[in-house]
């Protein structure tokens, strides 16, 4: 059993598949479906996949108080345990990276492997500028303006420049429709999140997937994670912050190949 007492699993969750466990920690302003939707079926082909939506995402009610990294991590673990998984791997994307790291640090008996994509150990100056602007745009209620900002920042240069005008406008509209109500709280937590102290003690095999055209989380951030976690592996994927949009099959393959190699 875990050394820590788990809370009741109260976050809305997604459960698919059967087999070894894989818990999913999604990105800020998104949800399990929004982050992992294009690869969910592939991940669940040989695994039991459990994802928990943060407050203000999916069907989880928005929080009236600031979010806590410890709470999100404990809720993710509690969701997996509630679905019958004693041990499981954890995949964390963007803000889900610190959530996944904290889950592994707080519940090492349960977490068998980590996969961290397009994420960070602590905000750098780029995030210190980007996150408050993201939060202000989300709080303004102007979803189209927020979507324009996110489309510009989240897509890699190759994908963005390949879009004709009509497709670009469609992408902006799709982004606007998918903005989570809890985005301001997610962005605020991302600004505070700091897992640097957790990294040297991580015991689980870890893969860091570096999105090389990322304008939110830089390759410097990805390398910092890989350098600080004992024996972590670093691989690259030539996308911006959205591998699920730009190269979903390649992203899924990187995750599943690593988990297969480590029996997770």
Residue 204 CA from chain centroid, whole number: 18
DSSP H helix total and E strand total for the chain: 12, 7
- Is domain 13-124+193-261 annotated with CATH 3.40.50.720? no
> Half-sphere exposure (CA, 13 Å, Cβ side) for 227?
8
The CATH 3.40.50.1820 domain(s) of the chain lie at: 13-124+193-261
Mean pLDDT per block of 10 residues along the chain (264 residues) reads 81 98 97 97 98 98 97 98 97 98 98 98 97 95 95 96 95 93 97 98 98 97 98 98 97 98 86
Instruction: Report the C-alpha gap between 7 and 148 in whole angstroms.
Output: 38
Measure the CA angle with vertex 45, ends 39 and 46; round to 5°.
125
Of 193, 182, 162, give the one whose Cα is nearest residue 63.
Answer: 182
DSSP alpha helix (H) spans, 69-182: 69-82, 96-106, 125-140, 143-154, 157-161, 165-177
Supply the pLDDT for residue 264.
74
Instruction: Report the C-alpha gap between 210 and 190 in whole angstroms.
Output: 18
> Helices 69-82 & 96-106, crossing angle to 10 degrees?
70
Residue 226 backbone dihedrals phi, psi, to 5 degrees: -65, -35
Supply the pLDDT for residue 4.
83
């Amino acid at each position: 059993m875990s050394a820590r007492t788990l809370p009741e699993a109260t976050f809305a969750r997604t459960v698919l598949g059967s087999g070894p466990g894989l818990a999913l920690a999604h990105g800020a302003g998104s949800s399990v479906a929004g982050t992992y939707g294009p690869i969910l079926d592939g991940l669940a082909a040989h695994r039991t996949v459990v994802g928990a939506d943060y407050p203000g995402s999916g069907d989880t009610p928005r929080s009236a108080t600031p979010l806590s990294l410890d709470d999100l991590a404990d809720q993710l673990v509690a969701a997996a345990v509630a679905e019958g998984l004693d041990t499981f791997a954890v995949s964390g994307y963007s803000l889900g990276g610190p959530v996944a790291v904290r889950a592994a640090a707080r519940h090492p008996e349960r977490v068998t492997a980590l996969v961290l994509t397009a994420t960070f150990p602590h905000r750098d100056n780029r995030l210190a500028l980007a996150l408050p602007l993201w939060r202000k745009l989300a709080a303004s209620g102007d979803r189209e303006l927020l979507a324009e900002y996110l489309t510009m920042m989240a897509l890699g240069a190759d994908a963005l420049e390949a879009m004709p005008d009509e497709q670009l406008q469609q992408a902006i509209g799709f982004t606007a429709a998918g903005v989570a109500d809890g985005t301001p709280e997610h962005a605020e937590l991302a600004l505070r999140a700091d897992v640097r102290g957790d990294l040297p003690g991580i015991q689980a095999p870890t893969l860091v997937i570096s999105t090389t055209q990322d304008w939110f989380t830089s390759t410097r951030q990805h390398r910092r994670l890989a350098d600080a976690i004992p024996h972590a592996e670093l691989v690259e994927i030539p996308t911006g912050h959205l591998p699920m949009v730009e190269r979903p099959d390649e992203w899924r393959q990187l995750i599943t190949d690593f988990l297969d190699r480590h029996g997770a």
